[in-house]
Structure 1
């Protein structure tokens, strides 16, 4: 016997109807090169409906891929709505990747039309120019000064929108149809496509509203600093639509001083970014009034204890860690303080929040194998990869995603990420966690950043090598740093070799690039 409930699909069009009807008066604020642009959600939704008609006039087929090279902006939000709601697939592209990676991704996705912010043209056009399979390139004028190439494929976003008088007819979309496509950063092998469904996007947005997750509500002012080209900006724009939050978008204004100004001036209550961003803002905390913030989420890697304390001291609240991957929509776990933590002091409570925390409702995690690999399962987790670079080995026989992370789960379900399987250091037959070692190194007051990599050792097989960046004006004393580590980690974890660098290379999404780092130190 089946239940007798209405078969209302979970789709992006439903998110658009909700924000338009209930929260049309709330605002979307975008920073541009020439000042801020403010629109209501009702105006954004109306433009998105006309944009869907533009896709019709451009001849984009049903389920056709629409690529975007864009900053966090109102126009990008309009694409977030119009493309999936019209039955096409939104494909957000990372302009920071290498040219050959971008070329591979566009070809693998078979992008039909590309939307590009004008300020990104100097970076993108030399790549796109050679791709004859891309039929049209729509330029979004964000105040950038780049000259428009003389190419018949190029059109202007606002010009196309102005020619459309009526919105597109509603598309018939199944909730399991593809809605958006995002490629992994390619840290191991070539980037792989992750194809999200309408259902997974809506469920993920709903999960972010949970009281024990991000608790995003109508009263919030949400500012996603995480790029909209990366995993749908962690789903934050969709969560803001569902809740009716104001949305603040930094556009190309991503320098620390510009971000701090936006957080303060717009009385932002919730923001999310990788630890690299929060570290860049740290020196400016004392000069800004950030009292409106209720939650600052750090993802993409471990939260160093010293950085979280600096935020608590300077902004009045510690960083909250969340864990996920492109393959998981991305949020799977989020740190929170439960009743079992009520007796902890401030330092211990901060320690709880800087770790990934328990899984969100509807998701499951487990630890498997000799290395303790973390695996994930749920309706917002990929079941396979899209395109030529699919990897069946990334999934278990019973359908769980093999994340490549090494972790541990305590009795209350709280996750701790110990390392990536490829970044573990196996010394004398025992594992050393590069993540834990990095965190202890960064607790030293003279250290700004630290990354640990394995180097071959004739006696022990592998030994850890520490690459450190000093705090501006400070010097690294190797003996003092090793003394600092004594008692914090096992004696055999302490690196025998320490390399001082001006900067640790980052991936296109702001994480430490250990592949590049090995090249820098000659490994």
Structure 2
């Protein structure tokens, strides 16, 4: 096999890595759902062999080139391996989060019309009990952890021979992933080999200063492995031959804590909501993060107090936090670095991490426009953010008109409101659909987080005919009224806060608060000052 300089083929990713002599250890916080007997310590050749075997399972289940294979199961890195196995056959994997409500899952499966649905017994039983059987939307269903009515089991497909590997055209559909769904039913974004592997994983498979993985790194991640980020992360990181990767499937400290202690990371990427949950353990077990030289946060905004806590927990002289902003449709658009010094308390008048840095040089361009006229707004003035990137997805499954409506020439509407100053630095205000009549809710949430450490999460919801409604989560669901009033005295007028616990907040698979569902739960109604045209 001719050595490849960059990860190009999803279906043979692990074969290609093994051929290049990869000795990276693969360490899991719990065994794979598709191979529980393999344990929690694997190597790249073993993973390559597993992907080939799973490809044989899919062939035995009737999957053919061009078919769609939908995967929805409890969170684990085997989402990536199942996607690789489908791509190896020439099929198109579609990863769907187990956090989706049964009716929403049904909508997405109808749009996909998959030849095979890969799921687990618990999800299938739960959905069927809710009156929404996902298996009716697929030609066949395969459960990975037992048996179920009207479904194949692994015993039914084991022993199937994997056909020769298929390598699709660079611009053909390669993989499908859904957007977060914070504002409604998620969109199904289609990516190609060029967009997700060449543009995204290819960018990460460089030894960039600070960012690039090193050969002595233990690179840890804790994320929704159903997200497209998991494909790009896996390919980009493994192509750099780190000493080990550590895959943590749950934000619960009962699982994450032992995994972090066993394999203390040198770089760590995790969802912001996961880091918030781990933050309370830092004082007791700060040395777990003592070796980390690079923290990476994507998926959602992160609060300054969270960044500060983890940077201060390390024993490294100068740990760095990389904050990225992007979307499922586009991949990363901007990034910035944060350090202990840049987050020193005395530097913050109104603390925020909404300053998103600058566009990735040579790869993305941004402009802020008036949402009505689409004309550029002056530097520093909030407007609707449009981007240009070669990593833009190919379209939305079942909603092609919606995708085209967000494309103006070669510029893509992100649906975010923000400003761009004269140096190109981007400051996020809000999602257009969530924006308040005067400004955005995100910075208010940052300030509340900074001033009230007992608040685990603050969500400010705009309403059409009154002041915005703050929702705060605390450990026990209580907050003294006087403490709240003092903290928000100099902030825009808001209604009295609704106080909940962490588990009361509805979330997506990537940990984002589902604001639309939260509004519905609180009886606030769907109307907001924001506009949803560009979502």
Normalised by the size of structure 2, how large is the TM-score? 0.82
Q: Is the 8 A contact 2:109 2:134 kept in 1?
A: no
Matching residue within 455, 466, 472 for 1:468: 472
Cα gap change, 1:133/1:467 in structure 2, threshold over 3 Å: closer, same or farther?
A: closer
Matched residue, 1:261: 258
Deviation per CA, 1:298-329: give whole Å up to 9, x if none: 2233221222222233346575421121212x
| Residues 29 and 255, structure 2, Cα contact 8 Å, conserved in 1 | no
Distance 1:172 1:345 in 2: 46
SS of match in other structure, 1:44: helix
CA distance in 2, matches of 1:494, 1:212: 45
Q: By how many angstroms is 1:363 displaced? A: 2.0
Rounded to whole Å, the distance in 2 between the matches of 1:11 and 1:51 is: 17
Could you tell me how far 1:232 is from its partner in structure 2? Answer: 4.1
Once the two structures are superposed, residues 5-25 of structure 1 have per-residue CA deviations (whole angstroms, 9 ceiling, x without a partner) of x9x994324633431122432
Partners of 2:497 and 2:446 lie apart in 1 by 15
Q: What is residue 441 of structure 1 aligned with on the other side?
A: 448
Offset at 1:274?
2.4
**Counterparts of 1:43 and 1:344, CA distance in 2:** 43
Q: Of 414, 424, 427, which residue of structure 1 is paired with 2:435?
A: 424
Q: Which residue of 2 aligns with 1:276?
A: 273
- Aligned equivalent of 2:157: 160
Alignment correspondent of 2:324: 322
The equivalent of 1:70 in structure 2 is 73
Q: Post-superposition shift, 1:348?
A: 7.8
Q: Distance in 1 between matches of 2:283 and 2:311?
A: 11
Task: Tell me, yes or no, if the aligned pair for 1:482 and 1:494 is still in contact at 8 Å.
Answer: no
- 3-state SS in 1 of match to 2:456: strand
Structure 1 unaligned segments of length 5 or more: list them. 1-5, 142-146
Contact kept in structure 1, 2:23 and 2:44, CA below 8 Å: yes
1:188 aligned onto 2:183: yes
Contact 1:80 1:90 in 2 (8 A): yes
Check whether the contact 2:29–2:256 (CA below 8 A) recurs between aligned residues: no
Quote the offset at 1:97 in angstroms. Answer: 0.9
Aligned residue for 2:16?
A: 18
The correspondence for 2:236, drawn from 231, 235, 239, is: 239
Cα distance in 2 for residues equivalent to 1:441 and 1:342? 21
Is 1:300 matched with 2:327? Answer: no
Per-residue CA deviation, residues 259-284 of structure 1 (Å, 9 max, x unaligned), is: 12212211222332322111111111
Is the CA contact (8 Å cut-off) linking 1:192 and 1:389 kept in structure 2?
no
Note closer, same or farther for the CA distance 1:344–1:150 as it changes in structure 2 (3 Å cut): closer
CA distance in 1, matches of 2:367, 2:342: 27
What residue is the counterpart of 1:397 in the other structure? Answer: 408
- Counterpart CA distance in 1 for 2:347 and 2:7 is 40
> Contact between 1:62 and 1:88, CA under 8 Å: does it hold in 2?
yes
Contact 1:465/1:496, CA 8 A, preserved across alignment:
yes
Quote the residue 2:500 is aligned against.
Answer: 501
SS at match of 2:445: helix
Residue from 126, 134, 138 that aligns with 2:138: 134
Q: Paired residue for 2:312?
A: 313
Query: What is the alpha-carbon root mean square deviation over aligned residues?
Result: 3.3
Decide whether the 8 Å contact of 1:384 with 1:392 is kept in 2.
Answer: yes
- TM-score (normalizing by structure 1): 0.83
For 1:190-215, what per-residue CA distance to the aligned partner results, in whole angstroms no more than 9, with x for missing partners? 33210010111212012234526842
* Equivalences for residues 94-173 of structure 1 within 5 A: 94-118=97-121, 120-124=123-127, 129=133, 131-141=135-145, 148-151=147-150, 153-156=151-154, 160-161=157-158, 163-164=159-160, 167-173=162-168
Q: Deviations over 1:336-383 (max 9, x none)?
A: 26xxx9996745899797743222342222211155111222121125
CA contact (8 A) 1:469 1:501 kept: yes
Report the CA distance between 1:134 and its aligned residue. 2.0
Task: Give the 3 Å change call, closer, same or farther, for CA 26–9 of structure 1 in structure 2.
Answer: closer
Between the two proteins, the alignment pairs up a number of residues equal to: 491
Q: 1:175 aligns with which of 170, 178, 184?
A: 170
Q: 1:343 to 1:191 in 2, by over 3 A?
A: closer
Aligned-residue offset at 1:422 = 1.4
- Give the whole-Å Cα distance in 1 for the aligned partners of 2:476 and 2:451: 14
Contact kept, 8 Å, 2:321 with 2:337, in 1: the verdict is no
Q: Please give the per-residue CA displacement for 1:64-87, whole angstroms capped at 9, x wherever unaligned.
A: 111112345454332232222331
Moved more, 343-352 or 24-33: 343-352
Instruction: Give, in angstroms, the shift of residue 56 of structure 1.
Output: 2.7
Per the TM alignment, residue 186 of structure 1 is displaced from its structure 2 partner at its CA by 3.1
CA deviation map 1:6-64 (0-9, x unaligned)? 9x994324633431122432222223378942211111112222332333332212121
Q: 1:375 aligns with which of 360, 366, 386?
A: 386
C-alpha distance in 2 between matches for 1:12 and 1:513:
31
How far residue 244 of structure 1 moved from its aligned partner, in angstroms, is 2.6
- The offset of 1:416, in angstroms, is 2.0
Cα gap change, 1:382 to 1:75, in 2 (>3 Å)? closer
CA shift for structure 1 position 172: 4.2
Q: How far did residue 119 of structure 1 move? A: 5.1
